[in-house]
C-alpha cells in the first residue's frame, strides 16, 4: 500500500479553526462570571424580570444553537469547511463589532450577542469534519481534542480574565465599571482572530489522508443512517446529560459561587473546571490515539464526572452545613470543579470522534452537530430551571446532576468499540 504524504498545512487549518473557536466561546460567556456586577452596570436599562435579562446573554447561545445547529451542519456538509466556518467568522466579526463598540447599551450588547450566537454552530460543528479531511485516523482524536481545547480556552478566558478587567468587588463604589472597555477589548480581538482565520482556512489537502476521508453520503441520508445506530442513541443520551450539565454550570457559575457563600464575582469555580478540562482535553485524546481505544476512555471520563459533581452539589453540607463555613465549602467546590472539568470536558472530543467513526459514512459535522444540539437543549432547560424563582431551585438541580451522572456512568458500559479504530489497531 502506497504511503500517503500528509500535508503539513493541516496544522495551520486546525490553528485557524482554533482561533475562531476560542473567540466564539469568549463572547459566549463574557457576562456569566460577572452576572451581579453586570446587573449593576446595566441597571435601569433592562427589566431583570423579563426574558431578555443578564442570564439571557449566556443562554441565547444555547437557544439559538438549537435553531441554527441543523442548518449549519447541512451548510458545512454541503458547501465545505471554508464556506461553513467562513460564514461563522463573518457573523462573528459583525456581532463582535456591535457588542464591542456599543456594549454600554444593553440593547446593542444583546443584538451583538444574538448575531454571535447564530455564528457559533458554523464554527463548533466543524472540528470532526476538519479532522476527517486533513488528518489520518491515528491523529483525529488529537485534532478534535485540540479544536475542542480551543473552546475550553475561550471559556477559561471569559471566566477568569473577565472579572479582572472590571471592578468586580461589591464593596467598591465603582462596582460594575469597566464592562464597556472589556467588551471593546474582546471585540477587537474577535475581529482580528476571525479575519486571520478566514485568510488561513483551506478546504482540503491535495492528497487525502485516508481512503474514507471524502467518502461521505449526503446530509439527509447521513442523518437517517445515524438514527439507525444503537450506539449513537447511547451517545445522544450521554451528551444530553454530560454536555447539558457542563453548559448549565458554565452559564450559572456566579450563581453557584453565591450558593457556596462567595460574595465576589471571581469566576474561580468555572475557571478551575476549565483548567481541569484543558489538561484533560490535551491528555485523554492523545492517549486515545496512542492506544487506539475510544470506548475505554469514554467510560473513564463519564465515571470521573460523578465525584466532581458530588463535591459541587454537597460542598456546603460536607463542611458543616449551609452557610456554616463558606470558605471551606468554596474550597471543596473548587477542587471538585477541577475534577469535573478534567473528565467531562475531555469526554467531549473523544465522544465526537467516536460518534464520527461509528456513523461513517455520515458526514462528521452531522454527528457532531447532533450531539452538541441535544446538549444545548438540555443545558438551556437546566439553566432555565436553575434560574427560576430567584434561583431557589439551583441546589436541587445540582443534586439531580449527581443522580443523572450515575445513570450515564452505567449506560456508557453498553457502548461497543469503534470499528474504524479497531481496524487501525490491526494495521
Average pLDDT of the residues in 155-179: 85
Run of H or E residues at 139: helix 137-156
Check: CB of residue 277 under 8 Å from CB of residue 152: yes
Share of the chain above pLDDT 90, in %: 51
Taking alpha carbons only, the member of 62, 53, 60 closest to residue 35 is 53
pLDDT tens-digit map of 104-118: 898 999 999 999 999
Residues 6+ apart with CB under 8 A from 382: 244, 245, 247, 248, 397
Q: Identify the pLDDT of residue 112.
A: 96
Check: CB of residue 204 under 8 Å from CB of residue 133: yes
Round the CA-based radius of gyration of the chain to a whole number and report it. Answer: 21
pLDDT tens-digit map of 197-240: 999 999 999 887 765 555 567 888 888 999 999 999 999 999 99
Taking alpha carbons only, the member of 338, 302, 326 closest to residue 411 is 302
pLDDT tens-digit map of 332-384: 888 999 999 999 988 989 999 999 999 988 888 889 999 999 998 898 899 88
Q: What angle do CA 221, 224, 228 make, to 5 degrees?
A: 135
Give me the domains of the chain, ranges plus CATH numbers.
10-425 (1.20.1250.20)
C-alpha span between 368 and 365 (Å, rounded): 5
pLDDT tens-digit map of 56-109: 787 788 889 889 999 999 999 889 999 999 999 999 999 999 999 998 898 999
- The whole-model pTM stands at 0.81
Asked which of 201-205, 269-273, 394-398 is least confident by mean pLDDT, the reply is 269-273
Q: Identify the pLDDT of residue 1.
A: 42
Amino acid at each position: 500500500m502506497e504511503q500517503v504524504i500528509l500535508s503539513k498545512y493541516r496544522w495551520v487549518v486546525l490553528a485557524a479553526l482554533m482561533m475562531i473557536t476560542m473567540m466564539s466561546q469568549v463572547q459566549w460567556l463574557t457576562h456569566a462570571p460577572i452576572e451581579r456586577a453586570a446587573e449593576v452596570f446595566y441597571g435601569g436599562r433592562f427589566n431583570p424580570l423579563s426574558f431578555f435579562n443578564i442570564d439571557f446573554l449566556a443562554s441565547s447561545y444555547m437557544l439559538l444553537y438549537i435553531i441554527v445547529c441543523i442548518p449549519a451542519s447541512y451548510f458545512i456538509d454541503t458547501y465545505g469547511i471554508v464556506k461553513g466556518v467562513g460564514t461563522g467568522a463573518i457573523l462573528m466579526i459583525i456581532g463582535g463589532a456591535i457588542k464591542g463598540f456599543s456594549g454600554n447599551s444593553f440593547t446593542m450588547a444583546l443584538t451583538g450577542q444574538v448575531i454571535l450566537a447564530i455564528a457559533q454552530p458554523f464554527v463548533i460543528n466543524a472540528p470532526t469534519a476538519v479532522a476527517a479531511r486533513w488528518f489520518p485516523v491515528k491523529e483525529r482524536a488529537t485534532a478534535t481534542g485540540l479544536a475542542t481545547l480551543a473552546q475550553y480556552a475561550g471559556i477559561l478566558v471569559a471566566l477568569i480574565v473577565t472579572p479582572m478587567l472590571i471592578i468586580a468587588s461589591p464593596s467598591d463604589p465603582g462596582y460594575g465599571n469597566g464592562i464597556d472597555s472589556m467588551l471593546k477589548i474582546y471585540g477587537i480581538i474577535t475581529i482580528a482572530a476571525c479575519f486571520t482565520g478566514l485568510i488561513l482556512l483551506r478546504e482540503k489537502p491535495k492528497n487525502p489522508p485516508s481512503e474514507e476521508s471524502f467518502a461521505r453520503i449526503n446530509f439527509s441520508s447521513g442523518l437517517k443512517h445515524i438514527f439507525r445506530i444503537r450506539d449513537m442513541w447511547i451517545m445522544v443520551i450521554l451528551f444530553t446529560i454530560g454536555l447539558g450539565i457542563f453548559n448549565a454550570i458554565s452559564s450559572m457559575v456566579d450563581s453557584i459561587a453565591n450558593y457556596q457563600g462567595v460574595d465576589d464575582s471571581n469566576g474561580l469555580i468555572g475557571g478551575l473546571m476549565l483548567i481541569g478540562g484543558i489538561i484533560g482535553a490535551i491528555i485523554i485524546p492523545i492517549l486515545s490515539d496512542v492506544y487506539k481505544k475510544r470506548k475505554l476512555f469514554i467510560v473513564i471520563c463519564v465515571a470521573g464526572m460523578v465525584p466532581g459533581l458530588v463535591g459541587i452539589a454537597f460542598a456546603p453540607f460536607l463542611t458543616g452545613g449551609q452557610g456554616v463555613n463558606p470558605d471551606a465549602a468554596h474550597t471543596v467546590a473548587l477542587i471538585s470543579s477541577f475534577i469535573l472539568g478534567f473528565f467531562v470536558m475531555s469526554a467531549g472530543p473523544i465522544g465526537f470522534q467516536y460518534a464520527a467513526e461509528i456513523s461513517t459514512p455520515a458526514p462528521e459535522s452531522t454527528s457532531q452537530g447532533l450531539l452538541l444540539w441535544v446538549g444545548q437543549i438540555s443545558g438551556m432547560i437546566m439553566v432555565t430551571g436553575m434560574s427560576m424563582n430567584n434561583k431557589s431551585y439551583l441546589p436541587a438541580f445540582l443534586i439531580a446532576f449527581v443522580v443523572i451522572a450515575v445513570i450515564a456512568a452505567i449506560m456508557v458500559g453498553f457502548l461497543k468499540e469503534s470499528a474504524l479504530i479497531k481496524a487501525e489497531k490491526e494495521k
